[in-house]
Structure 1
Amino acid sequence: MPGNLPPSTIAGKPVNPIGYGMMNLTALGTVSHEDAIKSLKAAVDNGANFWNGGLFYGPPDANSLVLLNNYFTQYPEDATKVVLSVKGAYNYATLTPNCTPEGIRASVDEALRQLDGTHPIDLFECARIDPNVPVEDMVKTLAELIKEGKIGSYGLSEVNANTIRRAHAVHRCAGVEVEISLFSRHALEKGGIVDTCHELGIPIIGYGVLDRGWLSGQFKTLEDIPKNDPRHHFPRFQPGNFEQNMKLAEFIQGIAKKKGVTPAHVAIAWVKQHGVLTIPGATKASRVKENTQEVELTDSEMGEIQEALDKFEVAGFRYPELFAAGLSQ
């Protein structure tokens, strides 16, 4: 079993090993405001005190920041309990980052305007690396914003080990967000993202830990996923790939059954035991409560899972081709 533990602080503030990813609350417009508020309340009440939101998670009048403003207006006593990460400097409609000084500053200012003093930005992440802006220049802008008191720290999202080192050399990085799960293990390659972050003492923030539902035990066939669900556009949910990937999902379900926990518990624990702060993003308060329950895997269970990972190849890339250019830059 890896000896690393999830970070105990982000940007100098205490965080628990399991946080909360907010994207699904607002990105698709399918979750009612009332249910979103309930999910956030369940997160903070069950110890998931690191929240990860985004300016582009939904339209400007109904994104993560608008929801957060409403939440902390309703529950001002929870503001000091939460460490907030905000992603921005990205146009989701065109899939283009804007990490120029003007682009970053405009994004931070808009986030602060939408939060309207209800909560500070503890960690700001440019959602993707801008190919037209050297990462050193991007970090210089972020360092200026930290000095000005507009953000508490900066993080990186979907970057490779080399980019992490270049950024960290300019100004200390407070967190690296990466997709990591039993299905998506690229960050664990030797000398890669996880190794580099552990070496430099940078907290790792893991999203997609349930791989868009694969590891939650929600479905058995493609027919279990609604026809208009965006997962149908992801390679791992295509016919042929789906059936292959069910083999690993079913194995994890078997481990969970023997252990007396849910498949989500096993999936989250596996990521956590690689020294990663996980941010599962359930949309129902009951699921949020389930995901925050602490589960540890034994050395024997970790060994069983590794044997399955070696046996069952995952079919399909983690994102549609349209998004691939911006990943692991």
Structure 2
Amino acid sequence: MSYTIAGKHIGRIGFGMGGFLHAHRQIPVDDAIATMKAALEAGATFWNAGEIYGTPDYNTLHLLNAYFTRYPHDADKVFISVKGCLDLKTAQLFVDKAGVKRSIDNCLRILDGKCRIDLFEAARGGLDVPIEETVGAIAEYVKAGAVGSIGLSECSAASIRRAVAVHPIAAVEIELSLFATDVFGNGVADACAELGIPLIAYSPLGKGILTGQLRKPEDVPEGDYRRFFPRFQPEALEENVKLVDEVKAVAERKGCTVAQVAIAWVAARGKKLGVPVVPIPGATTVTRVRENTAAAELTDGELKEIDGVLEKAEVKGGRAPFGFWSSTNLELLALFTRLCRHLVPLPGTK
């Protein structure tokens, strides 16, 4: 099965690159390239990258440059989605016209013509900059042929509607998993369905909880950013793994992994919405990317069973400290990123 975004075919499951360059762990270039090659060979042709994953001097765009330098003939086989306009070190958004230009120009410079930016999105919307200005600035690059299409990230339903009035939106990227279903209650999924916009689901494995390998706080590596997240605190994690165990029961009956069932559940949302829902699980090894792309096909009965579990389950802890993923919490995002660099626990966490 494949979908089409901005006129280009992609596989039903994509590939998130952010995990290659976490602050606590950087994957060697050759290992990253091998994993990227495995993703392509497995049909995961939607690659999610960005200048915000890593540092200004070395981020996932540099990995793309390295990959396509080694495999230039693969450039036309992959759909490249790039996220920018946000400095995670300072939590500054650059979503006005000048900021968008600076970000896209920098991305194009790093890629150095090795591959095309098929879709560009600002990582967040700005408080003081209308979405119309941000989208309009990206649209200039689309019209010039430097960028293929425009996406939105972590946006509201209202922002989607305002954005499409300026320029067609090719995709909306949002967190979506068995642990993050807000999109179905806040109008975003409905807006995408109405307007025919595909949903790109990042963190479909709940930042690793749905791999089944993180059952207690000690399972999260030292220095890992997730140690600051509410859902990974001891009391919350103890409750949250109960949901994982319910999914595990389905997986064992099917002879597959918890991760494969979790990804399949996300992908199946597209049948209800009538637009593609493309999970983009991250992976840093060949083994993991092959597991993710071999997601199970869930029957209607199994989907109903999992939905029933969700109706009864109570997910403990927000999906990020203080809800900083929202563009209305940039001051808290700045605090969080500073604390992460110094590995200082956030107030109210353990």
- 1:239 deviation in Å? 1.7
Q: Secondary structure at the match of 1:57?
A: coil
Tell me the residue number matched to 2:333.
none
Q: Secondary structure at the match of 2:83?
A: strand
Corresponding residue to 2:142 among 142, 146, 161: 146
Q: Secondary structure at the match of 2:193?
A: helix
Corresponding residue to 2:66 among 62, 66, 70: 70
Tell me the residue number matched to 1:237.
232
Tell me the residue number matched to 1:296.
297
Correspondence list, 1:1-329, <5 A: 8-28=3-23, 29-189=25-185, 192-275=187-270, 276-321=277-322, 323-326=324-327
Q: How many residues align?
A: 323
Instruction: Give distance in 2, aligned partners of 1:327 and 1:196.
Output: 21
Residue 304 of structure 2 aligns with an amino acid whose one-letter code is: G
Instruction: Give distance in 1, aligned partners of 2:208 and 2:328.
Output: 21
Superposition TM-score, scaled by structure 2 size: 0.89
Q: Secondary structure at the match of 2:200?
A: strand
Instruction: Give distance in 1, aligned partners of 2:2 and 2:40.
Output: 18
Residue 27 of structure 1 aligns with an amino acid whose one-letter code is: H
- 1:107 deviation in Å? 0.5
Q: Does the C-alpha gap of structure 1 residues 322 and 294 become closer, same or farther in structure 2, counting only changes over 3 Å?
A: closer
Instruction: Give distance in 2, aligned partners of 1:35 and 1:59.
Output: 19
- 1:32 deviation in Å? 1.5
Instruction: Give distance in 1, aligned partners of 2:328 and 2:246.
Output: 28
The runs of at least 4 aligned residues of structure 1 exceeding 6 Å deviation read none
Residue 105 of structure 2 aligns with an amino acid whose one-letter code is: D
Instruction: Give distance in 1, aligned partners of 2:116 and 2:137.
Output: 18
- Superposition CA RMSD, Å: 1.6
- Contact (CA 8 Å) 2:172, 2:199: kept in 1 or not? yes
Instruction: Give distance in 1, aligned partners of 2:99 and 2:327.
Output: 17
Q: Does the C-alpha gap of structure 1 residues 119 and 328 become closer, same or farther in structure 2, counting only changes over 3 Å?
A: farther
- 1:173 deviation in Å? 0.3
Moved more, 314-323 or 221-230: 221-230
Q: Secondary structure at the match of 1:219?
A: coil
- 1:282 deviation in Å? 1.1
Q: Does the C-alpha gap of structure 1 residues 35 and 327 become closer, same or farther in structure 2, counting only changes over 3 Å?
A: farther
Moved more, 263-272 or 142-151: 142-151
**CA shift digits 1:165-205 (9 cap, x unpaired):** 1101111101100000000000012x711121011011110
Q: Does the C-alpha gap of structure 1 residues 116 and 159 become closer, same or farther in structure 2, counting only changes over 3 Å?
A: same
Instruction: Give distance in 2, aligned partners of 1:267 and 1:222.
Output: 21
- Contact (CA 8 Å) 1:159, 1:327: kept in 2 or not? no
Instruction: Give distance in 1, aligned partners of 2:174 and 2:92.
Output: 18
- Contact (CA 8 Å) 2:157, 2:191: kept in 1 or not? yes
Tell me the residue number matched to 1:3.
none
- 1:251 deviation in Å? 0.9
Instruction: Give distance in 2, aligned partners of 1:218 and 1:56.
Output: 27
Q: Secondary structure at the match of 1:240?
A: helix
Superposition TM-score, scaled by structure 1 size: 0.95
- 1:7 deviation in Å? 7.2
Q: Secondary structure at the match of 1:176?
A: strand
- 1:9 deviation in Å? 1.0
- Contact (CA 8 Å) 1:49, 1:81: kept in 2 or not? yes
- 1:324 deviation in Å? 4.1
Tell me the residue number matched to 2:334.
none
Q: Does the C-alpha gap of structure 1 residues 27 and 11 become closer, same or farther in structure 2, counting only changes over 3 Å?
A: farther
- Contact (CA 8 Å) 1:159, 1:328: kept in 2 or not? no
Residue 216 of structure 2 aligns with an amino acid whose one-letter code is: T
**CA shift digits 1:102-121 (9 cap, x unpaired):** 10011101000000010011
Q: Secondary structure at the match of 1:38?
A: helix
RCO greater where, 1 or 2, for CA within 8 Å and sep 6 or more? 1
Q: Does the C-alpha gap of structure 1 residues 178 and 328 become closer, same or farther in structure 2, counting only changes over 3 Å?
A: farther
**CA shift digits 1:86-127 (9 cap, x unpaired):** 000111112221111110011101000000010011000000
Residue 251 of structure 2 aligns with an amino acid whose one-letter code is: A
Residue 282 of structure 2 aligns with an amino acid whose one-letter code is: G
